[in-house]
A and B are shown apart, each in its own frame.
Chain A
Amino acid sequence: MSYYNEFTANTQLRLSPFFERTSKLNESQEWRRWSGYLAATNYELTHDDEYFAIRTKAALLDITPLKKYIIEGPDAQRFLNRLVTRNIGICKVGQVMYTPWCDEDGKQIDDGTVQRLSENKFRITSAEPNLEWIQFNATGMDLSITDDSYATAALALQGPNSRAILNAVASDTLDSLKFFWMMNTTFGHIPVSISRTGYTGDLGYEIWMDPKDALTVWDLLLEKGKSYGITPTGLHALDIARIEAGLILLDVDYISSRHAIIESRKSSPYELGLGWAVKMKKKDFIGKQALEAEAARGPEWDFVGIEIQWNELEQHFRKAGLAPGLPCTAWRTSTPLVKGNEQVGYATSGAWSPLLKRYIALAHVKSQFAREGSELMFELKVEHFRKLTPAKVVKTPFFDPERKRSCPV
């Protein structure tokens, strides 16, 4: 007797419109919760191939769990300029801006992208739900706010071959689509919008569509992408890629000021390496006064990349009679950074970069110890015992390929 093993998920988590496909492709059946959705951790038993797809081929990720809000109306620009720290006034139609947003004490609530869909219509994407904050600050303004999270499905296609695949599928060429710009096109008869954005720091795109078209789009991409090595990719691979790209993650690298139960858990954009995204010349925005004051006195913390020195690490393990043991996935445990006898920082996420062959991490470091080249000691556990091993402050992104920004024409 044979039977048909249907993939179903006995879960209260939301299933993405791509689940019909991803559930069957997910060989490992490893899932994790992402914004209330069931999201694939890795499709194969290990994430290695998926990681290399991001860096050498093309990785396809279901990013539907992202929170998406549509802000539309005559006051939309005025409102967003008030809400976020970057200057939305200079964001042209079809442009996308990455930006943090803060509370009035200048502490970061979340970060995400703002897409200008038309003169008076924007889409905000974010990791966490922000609807209440958005609505609250928009009271009295002439605009409408729609939580578009369930009404828009999204895929990320990331990696050196992503453009070629999209050119093969889309009715318009993507050759001239610049980094952090977007365009509307069709896949056959299906309207999609494509933004040249992503969370990998590589050449890559995000594709926004109606959920009813989700499966057709998925099938089209897999079919046309086959010869380009398109690979369904899960969150483990993404996590390594985003650390290499030096991109922060909410609830891992920082805590939203709305959830922090003590002051010291909050961070300002300056303390998260996002000072470049705070536009002081802009008219009043939420948190401006506090950020001005912070900029004047100098932020207490900095957010930097560190590289844990290999030779010394290797010796620690050798002394214990072991070969160097490295975590095979990215880690998210806060790890102390020491200078002399004093703890001067902590790393919040790190990974062995298979591409760079370097052990890297993202870290909060007190400003006076945060300049490039600064030498710190990183706490390492070797066979149950804590050791200190040297680490150096280095520039981020750790990996920053030319192709991320370049256009063929």
Chain B
Amino acid sequence: MSRYNTIVIGGGINSLVTASFLGKSGKKVLLLEARNQVGGLASTSEFAPGFKCNVINDVVKWIDPRVMQQLGLDNHGLSLFQPDVVRVALENNGEHISFHRDQKQTAASIAIHSEKDAKAWEDFTAYIGKLTYFLEKLYELTPPNLPNVGLKEALGMRSLLNPVRKHGTRGLVDLMRVVPMMMPELMDEWFENEFLRGAVSTAGIHHLSFGPFSAETGYNLLHQHVHSNEVFHNAQFVKGGTGELARALKSSAESVNAEIRINSKVSAINVENGNCSGVTTTNGESFQADQVVSGLDPNNTFKNLVGPSNLNPNFNTQLNNVRYRGSTARIHFALNGLPKFKGVSADQTIAVFSTSPSMEYLERASDAVKYGRLAENPYVEFTIPSIINSDFAPDGKHVLSATVQYAPYHLRNQNWTNDLNNQLKNNVVRALENYCPGFHGMIESSSILSPMDLENQFGLTEGNLNHGEMTLDQFMFMRPTTSLAQYKSPIENLFLCGPGTHPGGGLHGTNGYNAAREILK
């Protein structure tokens, strides 16, 4: 039996960030990853002979600047690539809207569809930028333990005054309005063109199980644009694949003597009398530690690893009430060439593409979740990562990786089977054929990850990529539950650092940073 200061369960981005900061402060850290590589949702791997893909995320929307700077990730080999064109919303006739880092270019692209909307664009991005500034400050904090907020906690939140000083209470009021809004309401205030409205709304439904006509999609839209410097649909790519972000963090953790073990699946968190003392792995090894930090979701951490006999009834109820309901699938296509999209120029092919003809299209796709079936006409967001990373595919060949909504984990009168996976793939292929005729013929092989596959392969409860839905009832001091919102748990010495905590999902590492700060307190 070995002894450590801290054991970190899971090797995703947040776990690696926590391990790095704890190691940096002199703790003896052991990180245990169940899979054969670290990275979790930031993994890159081969999915067909000679073809590699970013398994879950092609794009890093934002990284917590505190993580970037304090861990010096540049020195650990992290190289981010920020394309000029971040997003292309595909249109049937080739009249796409391209979203650029330069807003004037975006406006020019919008002008083809609506002069009026083009004029409003810069104001819109400034408006979103203003609101996300509030979130940026909020995300840096550990949520208060309501209702027990003392003077100390209140003072700890004073940095929230910065955005108020900068944007006035008007800014705060705008935030309060937009966060619970649904996309059509927000779009009504800004844009008239339905194609643009659909293309913008996709930010509101990213990885959610509901559509743009749902309240709180405003919050998700803002969440996608934190630290995006007013670049709408901001996208940055990691050179060499998203897995390189994990590799840089691994290097950072190892540089402060954190020990990282792969193929080490934790089977139990050892708890006695409400006190956590270490973990046991599936191969029977036990490790003792002063603290255990779990990067897994609350369900896996508590229900599966701590075990129901160590959970108090009230806490158990709270855990039961966390909503997961993954509805996002991933499909990777190995292609025999570069797919051609009418009206897409060569410099645009590195961007993220979306198929979002209208808000109504997106909403109809989301209906599938309600009825427990696959969206026949799904929302597809895709990239061709082999353009930036030539080693992703053999010469002349390419990889197209698609994120598909909606494919609900909970199906009605059917189960996730190979047949259903194929049906999902066919729906996606049909959707892409609209924009790229002949796409079907280019497919050499494909790899499908349904929410069920995501649960089985990545330990994501119900396949939810955010470790719990990004909704306001699971926000801040309620994320993932009121008794877990300070990264601590009712079990002594057991902490959480994953996306299930404030401020939610993404490859930003904020959860891991905040968790490390709480552990070191």
Contacts and interface: CB of A to CB of B under 8 A. Distances in A.
Interface of A: 75, 78-79, 82, 103-104, 133, 136-141, 283-284, 286, 288-289
Interface string B73-88: 0000000000000000
B313 A284 contact: no
Contact of B272 (A79, A138, A283): A283
Contacts of B307: 140
Interface string B259-291: 000000000000111100000000000000000
Contacts of A140: 303, 307-308
Contacts of B271: 284
B273 A288 contact: yes
B316 A139 contact: yes
18 contacts: A79-B309, A104-B312, A104-B314, A133-B313, A136-B316, A136-B317, A137-B308, A138-B308, A139-B308, A139-B316, A139-B320, A140-B307, A140-B308, A284-B272, A284-B274, A284-B309, A286-B312, A288-B274
Contacts of A78: 309
Interface in B294-320: 303, 307-310, 312-314, 316-317, 320
Interface residues of B, number: 15
Given A283-B272, A284-B272, A284-B274, A82 B309 contact: yes
Contacts of B316: 136-137, 139
**The 6 residue pairs across chains A and B that have the minimum distance between CB atoms:** A140-B308, A104-B312, A284-B273, A82-B309, A104-B313, A139-B308
Q: Most chain-B CB neighbours within 10 Å: which of A136, A140, A289?
A: A140
A30 to B, nearest CB: 40
Nearest to A105: B314
Contacts of B314: 104
Given A141-B308, A286-B313, 8 more contacts: A75-B309, A104-B312, A136-B316, A137-B313, A139-B316, A284-B271, A284-B274, A284-B309
Contacts of B317: 136
Nearest to B275: A284
A183 B316 CA distance: 37
Nearest to A75: B309
B313 A103 contact: yes
Interface of B: 271-274, 303, 307-310, 312-314, 316-317, 320
B239 to A, nearest CB: 44
B315 to A, nearest CB: 8
Contacts of B312: 104, 286
A284 B310 contact: yes
A286 B274 CA distance: 11
A141 B311 CA distance: 12
A353 to B, nearest CB: 40
A136 B274 contact: no
A79 B313 CA distance: 13
Contacts of A75: 309
A109 to B, nearest CB: 10
A76 B312 CA distance: 18
Contacts of B310: 284
Contacts of B272: 283-284
User: B273, B303, B310, B320 — which one has the most chain A CB atoms within 10 A of its CB?
Assistant: B273
Given A104-B314, A136-B316, A141 B309 contact: yes
Nearest to A139: B308
B393 to A, nearest CB: 44
A283 B273 contact: yes
A133 B312 CA distance: 12
A103 B315 CA distance: 12
B391 to A, nearest CB: 44
A136 B303 CA distance: 13
A137 B310 CA distance: 10
B122 to A, nearest CB: 53
A350 B189 CA distance: 72
Contacts of A284: 271-274, 309-310
B485 to A, nearest CB: 19
B460 to A, nearest CB: 18
A78 B310 CA distance: 11
B318 to A, nearest CB: 12
Contacts of A136: 313, 316-317
A137 to B, nearest CB: 6
A139 B319 CA distance: 12
A404 B313 CA distance: 37
A65 B271 CA distance: 39
Contacts of B273: 283-284, 288
Contacts of B303: 140
Contacts of A137: 308, 313, 316
Contacts of A82: 309
A137 B316 CA distance: 8
Nearest to B303: A140
B32 to A, nearest CB: 22
Contacts of A288: 273-274
B484 to A, nearest CB: 16
Contacts of B313: 103-104, 133, 136-137, 286
Among A75, A78, A139, A288: residue with most chain B CB under 10 A: A139
A138 B303 CA distance: 12
A139 B307 CA distance: 10
A181 to B, nearest CB: 28
Nearest to A133: B313
Contacts of A133: 313
Contacts of A289: 274
A286 B310 CA distance: 9
Contacts of A283: 272-273
A104 B312 CA distance: 6
A283 B273 CA distance: 6
Nearest to A103: B313
A288 B313 CA distance: 12
A84 B326 CA distance: 37
B504 to A, nearest CB: 26
A103 B312 CA distance: 9
A389 to B, nearest CB: 44
B276 to A, nearest CB: 12
A136 B320 CA distance: 10
A299 B303 CA distance: 33
B401 to A, nearest CB: 36
A78 B308 CA distance: 11
Interface centre among B303, B310, B313 (most CB of A within 10 A): B313
A63 B317 CA distance: 34
A212 B122 CA distance: 82
A81 to B, nearest CB: 8
